């Protein structure tokens, strides 16, 4: 009996991912509906069923996930495709292992009724941007691609909605079509936006899961398990969004329920269809990033994308 028990213990131990009982995942921002698949996977036990205990951590700033993952201080993190390409071009070691949001949420946001109907109407007006070194470059690219002239770029940090309402700027590069749009609507304004992928930008993954390259090399089974749990969670969200929202409110009880309900409606079409990381799609955006000056040297995308 002791030998049988020992054999069973060995089998159990071998089935547990090499990373141990717990993985730390650092978000890109505070918890929100963009992260819903993570919380559904957590609340419904999909991670646990896969032998994973995922500790979801909020960062102090949006670049924390990249820094901590690259330094080996966190196994997983959430980042943005443009941010990953910038980091890779600067030799920051990260591997992309999955997707949360499979299309751009970022837009050039404005308020309707103020004389803006087409991109060219932004000529001669101040345009805000959020993240310096990334969104300002993308703002210039948007203006160049769409014939916008005599504009002034204004760094807003993340005061997007107040800056639009006050008239400090007439548009903002980096306003999300799910959150800032809803915030404007809740304050009685009619938001409008220019979708990047409809105005000269290649389609790209808004939010991706990144991992420490050494961790990936040593824990491929854990990565497969994580991706499977994430896929299962996204399928559940699309099947029954309201039930998924209940899970989210259980996990994040302090969230603004009205805002999150409305944001979910706008986010549903953008959750990743699968966990496949397209080399061709990433290469197209990397080439675009080089052309517009977001990155200063070419990036080979295949080595940073993990595929089963």
Domains of the chain are: 17-102+205-304 (3.40.190.10), 106-198 (3.40.190.10)
What is the pLDDT at residue 62? 76
Residue 164 pLDDT: 98
DSSP single-letter state for residue 303: G
pLDDT of residue 183: 98
Instruction: Look at strands 95-101 and 207-211 and give their pairing.
Output: antiparallel
pTM of the entire predicted model: 0.91
185 Cβ partners below 8 Å, 6+ apart? 191, 262
CA distance 91 to 85: 10
Partners of 109 in beta bridges:
172, 193
- pLDDT (tens, 9 = 90+) of the chain, 308 residues, equals 333 333 332 333 333 344 446 899 999 999 999 999 999 999 999 999 999 999 999 998 777 899 999 999 999 999 999 999 999 999 999 999 999 999 999 999 999 999 999 999 999 999 999 999 999 999 999 999 999 999 999 999 889 999 999 999 999 999 999 999 999 999 999 999 999 999 999 999 999 999 999 999 999 999 999 999 999 999 999 999 999 999 999 999 999 999 999 999 999 999 999 999 999 999 999 999 999 999 999 999 999 999 87
Instruction: Return the pLDDT at 19.
Output: 41
Distance between CA atoms of residues 182 and 267, nearest Å: 11
Distance CA 142, CA 165 (A): 22
């Amino acid at each position: 009996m002791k030998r049988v028990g020992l054999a069973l213990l060995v089998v159990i131990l071998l089935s547990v991912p090499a990373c141990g009982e717990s993985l730390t995942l650092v978000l890109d921002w505070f918890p929100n509906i963009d992260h819903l698949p993570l919380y559904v996977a957590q609340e419904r036990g999909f991670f646990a069923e896969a032998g994973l205990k995922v500790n979801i951590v909020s960062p102090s700033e949006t670049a924390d996930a990249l820094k901590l993952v690259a330094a080996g201080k966190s196994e997983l993190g959430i980042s943005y495709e443009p941010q990953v390409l910038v980091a890779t071009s600067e030799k920051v070691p990260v591997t992309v292992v999955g997707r949360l949001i499979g299309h751009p949420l970022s837009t050039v946001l404005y308020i309707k009724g103020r004389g803006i109907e087409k991109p060219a109407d932004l000529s001669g007006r101040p345009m805000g941007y959020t993240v310096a070194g990334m969104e300002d470059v993308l703002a210039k690219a948007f203006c160049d691609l769409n014939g916008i002239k005599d504009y002034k770029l204004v760094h807003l940090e993340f005061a997007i909605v107040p800056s639009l309402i006050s008239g400090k700027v007439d548009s903002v590069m980096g306003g999300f079509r799910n959150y800032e749009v809803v915030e404007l609507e809740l304050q009685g304004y009619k938001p409008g936006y220019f979708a990047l992928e409809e105005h000269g930008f290649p389609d790209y993954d808004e939010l991706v899961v990144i991992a420490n390259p050494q961790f990936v090399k040593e824990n491929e089974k854990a990565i497969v398990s994580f991706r499977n749990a994430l896929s299962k969670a996204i399928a559940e969200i699309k099947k029954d969004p309201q039930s998924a929202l209940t899970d989210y409110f259980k996990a994040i009880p302090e969230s603004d329920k009205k805002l999150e309900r409305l944001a979910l409606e706008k986010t549903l079409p953008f959750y990743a269809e699968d966990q496949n990381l397209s080399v061709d799609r990433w290469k197209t955006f990397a080439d675009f990033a080089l052309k517009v000056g977001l990155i200063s040297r070419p990036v080979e995308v295949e080595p940073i994308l993990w595929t089963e």
